[in-house]
């Protein structure tokens, strides 16, 4: 990984993972919530961010109420995407403090690959272990910088590029430079897929970005300009383009 990809859960873009967890906690504590994430508040409690982040609706000032709304809708949308997809592989790009491997029902034998920087994934693992939270399917951590050659790291973790796969890039694209976004979609749309709700078809890659609102906090970016994209990706690509042809090759580095 590059030297830059060294943030933890309360520094640089790592803190954005904590902020969306706080917003999911707020939504989870509302009456009739769109998402139930019982672990989100554990992360905020363990990280002790300064200034503190709210996790309950009664303690949340206005921008946080909006974030609870937004994260509720976003999380619910992607929860339903995975429920309908029924693939045996799921790849969560920039998983952050996403705990879908720990709170959703998955078909037997599903492997969920979580990609993010090591300190963020390690923090998540520690908090879940400290609280006795077990995964509901096999979850494999893949330490990466998503500006680097993450497909090689994913394959080394056991990813089967011939198997139908559900892909998710949630809250990631604003943090990546344009060339990394291009590579991300080339890689994730070029392998066998199955469309959510379409058993005989292929899967989808799906993404969501950070909405713009002058009332919301601004967060750091990793580098470069952005190319925000929203919605399902259907761009055709050559078979498995962007993927290493041999396992164990040297990852390409950004200069
Ligand atoms: C806004 S959070 C979203 C986390 C998660 N997808 C969710 O919705 O809860 C952004 C995440 O992107 C990760 N991230 C940003 N740039 C990255 C990079 N270059 N490589 C790996 N992870 C990155 C951060 O560490 C953080 O966990």
Q: What is the mean pLDDT of the chain?
A: 81
Residue 197 lies in a domain: yes
Instruction: Read off the pLDDT band of 174 (50, 70, 90).
Output: very high
pLDDT of residue 218 exceeding 60: no
- At 73 the pLDDT is 97
CA 192 to chain centroid, in Å, comes to 20
- At 3 the pLDDT is 54
pLDDT of residue 111 exceeding 70: yes
Residue 244 lies in a domain: no
What letters, b where the CB count within 10 A reaches 16 and e where it falls short, cover 86-120?
bbbbbbbbbbbbbbbbbbbebeeebbbbbbbbbbb
Task: Check if 82 has its Cβ closer than 6 Å to any atom of ligand 1.
Answer: no
Mean predicted confidence (pLDDT) in 161-182: 94
Q: Higher model confidence: residue 116 or residue 188?
A: 116
Number of helices (H), then strands (E), in the chain: 7, 6
Q: Higher model confidence: residue 6 or residue 226?
A: 6
Residue 128 lies in a domain: yes
Domain count, the chain: 1
| Ranges 151-155, 184-188, 194-198: which has the least confidence | 194-198
- The residue nearest atom 12 of ligand 1, judged by CA position, is 94
Task: Check if 98 has its Cβ closer than 6 Å to any atom of ligand 1.
Answer: yes
Residue 193 lies in a domain: yes
Task: Check if 117 has its Cβ closer than 6 Å to any atom of ligand 1.
Answer: yes
Local structure of 219: helix, strand or coil: coil
Residue 115 lies in a domain: yes
C-alpha to C-alpha distance for 213 and 99, rounded to whole angstroms: 26
Handedness of CA 112, 115, 120, 122 (dihedral sign): positive
- The residues near 59 (Cβ < 8 Å, ≥ 6 apart) are none
Residue 51 lies in a domain: no
- At 71 the pLDDT is 97
CATH number at residue 145: 3.40.50.150
Residue 173 lies in a domain: yes
Two structure tokens written together for 96: 């952050």
Ligand 1 pocket check: which of 9, 10, 74, 96 to mutate, most ligand atoms within 8 Å of Cβ?
96
Nearest Cα neighbor of 152 from 249, 38, 39 is 249
User: In terms of C-beta distances under 8 Å and separation of at least 24 residues, what long-range contacts does 123-127 make, across chains too?
Assistant: 123/8, 123/9, 123/43, 123/46, 123/47, 124/43, 124/95, 124/96, 124/97, 124/99, 126/46, 127/39, 127/42, 127/43, 127/46
Can you tell me which residue has the tokens 């796969």?
A: 165
Give tens-digit pLDDT for 75-103: 999 999 999 877 999 999 999 999 999 99
Residue 243 lies in a domain: no
Residue 19 Cα to ligand 1 midpoint, Å, equals 11
Domain that holds residue 122: 74-233
- Is residue 232 classed exposed, middle or buried when 0-12, 13-18 and 19+ CB atoms within 10 A define those classes? exposed
Predicted TM-score (pTM) of the model is 0.82
């Amino acid at each position: 990984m590059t030297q830059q990809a060294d943030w933890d859960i309360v520094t640089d873009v790592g803190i954005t993972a904590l902020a969306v967890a706080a917003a999911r906690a707020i939504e989870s504590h509302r009456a009739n919530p769109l998402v139930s994430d019982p672990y989100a508040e554990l992360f905020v409690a363990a990280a002790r961010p300064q200034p503190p982040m709210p996790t309950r609706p009664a303690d949340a000032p206005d921008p946080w109420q909006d974030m609870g709304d937004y994260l509720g809708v976003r999380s619910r949308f992607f929860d339903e995407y995975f429920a309908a997809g029924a693939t045996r592989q799921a790849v969560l790009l920039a998983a952050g403090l996403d705990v879908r491997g720990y709170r959703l029902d998955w078909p037997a034998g599903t492997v969920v690959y979580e990609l993010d920087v090591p300190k963020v994934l390690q923090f998540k693992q520690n908090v879940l272990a400290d609280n006795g939270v077990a995964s509901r399917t096999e979850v494999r951590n893949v330490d990466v910088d998503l500006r680097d050659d993450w497909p090689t790291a994913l394959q080394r973790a056991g990813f089967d590029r011939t198997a139908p796969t559900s892909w998710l890039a949630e809250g990631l694209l604003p943090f990546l430079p344009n060339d990394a976004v291009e590579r991300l979609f080339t890689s994730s749309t070029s392998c066998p897929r199955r469309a959510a709700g379409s058993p005989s078809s292929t899967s989808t890659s799906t993404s969501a970005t950070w909405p713009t609102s002058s009332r919301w906090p601004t967060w750091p970016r990793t580098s470069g300009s952005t190319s925000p994209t929203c919605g399902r990706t259907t761009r055709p690509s050559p078979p498995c383009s962007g993927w290493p042809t041999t396992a164990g090759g040297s990852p390409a580095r950004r200069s």
